[in-house]
Amino acid sequence: MLHRFFETTQPIHYALYSGLVIVAGFTSVFWFEQLSFQTVTTVLGLVFLLLLTQFILIKNELTQNSSYAFMSMSVLLCLLFPDVFSDWLWLDNLLIFMSLRRLLSMRTRHSILAKIFDASFWITIASLIEPKFCLFFLPVFVGVFLWARNNYRFWVIPFLGITTVLIISWVIQLYFNIDLLPRLILSSSYEFAGSYVLQLHWVSILLLSFIVAGIILYVGSIISVIHKTRAKYSVLFFYSLVSVIIFLWLDKNQTTSQLLLFLPTVLFLNYIFTSSSNRVLKIILVLIPITILVVRTIFIL
């Protein structure tokens, strides 16, 4: 059966899903764009982001042995082409994923200082590209509260990570005449674009619906969540919440901004897939991301 293929994770899945993004990416390059450093870097960057997502999911035991989340993420990433070539927002998301990886690994309670610093470091760099991403410091402080709140040093480390990036940025700006620090103030409008919300794309509305359903499901079942895993799901809850806020706040290309919504959506769909024993429901869940991709491709062409 179709759903059984996604109930395991084998090397063939890595080759298939990575290949899907590569084929979709370079097809979009030759069809809509032209081969350049930015287009090649974007395609390869998204493949790395896909593999990093799978690493985060497996390392934190969020997918069991299923490859459904891996498949869903790869299909959703294909939605970004060709609009993703117009900016570097994917790089911001990659930095946030690297931060999330370090943040979730705090649950082992090993090298907590280094992990808090790394998470803050990546978020600060992302904020230099798009200042609104500084909101992702909220999950960092949530992680500190959940795993290391009794030591005052852990509360100071995020500010040390911020200061380190600012000093490095200042040195680069001083010696290479590249304006990095002014981006935090001048490069982005901080006004909430209400008209942008009223013009949401149907894909955005669908993704937001899945995330809202996931948030409601989490809040409703928080008491029954095992205490050992409650902390990591709480961090993911605040990560999803911040992702939605930034998505609605960004006044950018809506298609590329949808990348913010992919991981929360995948987490919700994967939870339903792995917790259900209904074969029909699992087949429907497999077809959801594929159908979204097919319909959007038809609209583009």
Domain ranges across the chain: 89-188
Counted residue by residue, the chain has a size of: 301
* pLDDT of the residue at 1: 53
Give the separation between CA 232 and CA 168, rounded to whole angstroms.
31
Which residues, given as ranges, of the chain have pLDDT below 70?
Answer: 1-7, 178-200, 221-228, 251-254, 300-301
SS3 113: helix
Residue-level pLDDT at 196: 47
Q: What is the pLDDT of residue 195?
A: 45
pTM of the model: 0.88
CA distances from 253 to 55, 85, 201, 204 (A): 28, 11, 11, 12
**Exposure letters 106-128 (e unless 16+ CB within 10 A, then b):** bbeeeebeebbbbbbbbbbbbbb
Q: Supply the pLDDT for residue 119.
A: 95
